[in-house]
Amino acid sequence: MGFLSAIFGRSTDSVKLSELLLQKPFLVDVRTPAEFSSGSAKGAVNIPLDQIPAKIARFKGKSRVVVFCRSGNRSGQAKALLEKAGISHVTNGGSLGNVISAQRI
């Protein structure tokens, strides 16, 4: 599992994620609008993966960013895009379920 986490950048430590969520990061659901409308994590905004490059300005000035999706794959891609654009302090929260669980801790 560590190998897959390294590839996809998944967060495997929900305690660390829950501590990060206490810092009120910019919480971004990178799933499609249809997926987002079916429910998301509390406080999350929807910026689908394919819109990340056009919406980099929304990330500028944020001290912490957490991205997540259905499985952690798209959020891993979003993290890479953001870092390539110079946005630092980006965490791949992994799946929606992972983020919701971390919010409950």
Provide the annotated active-site residues: 69
Structure tokens at 83: 């870092």
Do the beta carbons of residue 47 and residue 58 sit within 8 Å?
A: yes
Considering Cα of 32, then 37, then 41, then 43, what sign does the dihedral take? positive
What number of residues does the chain have?
105
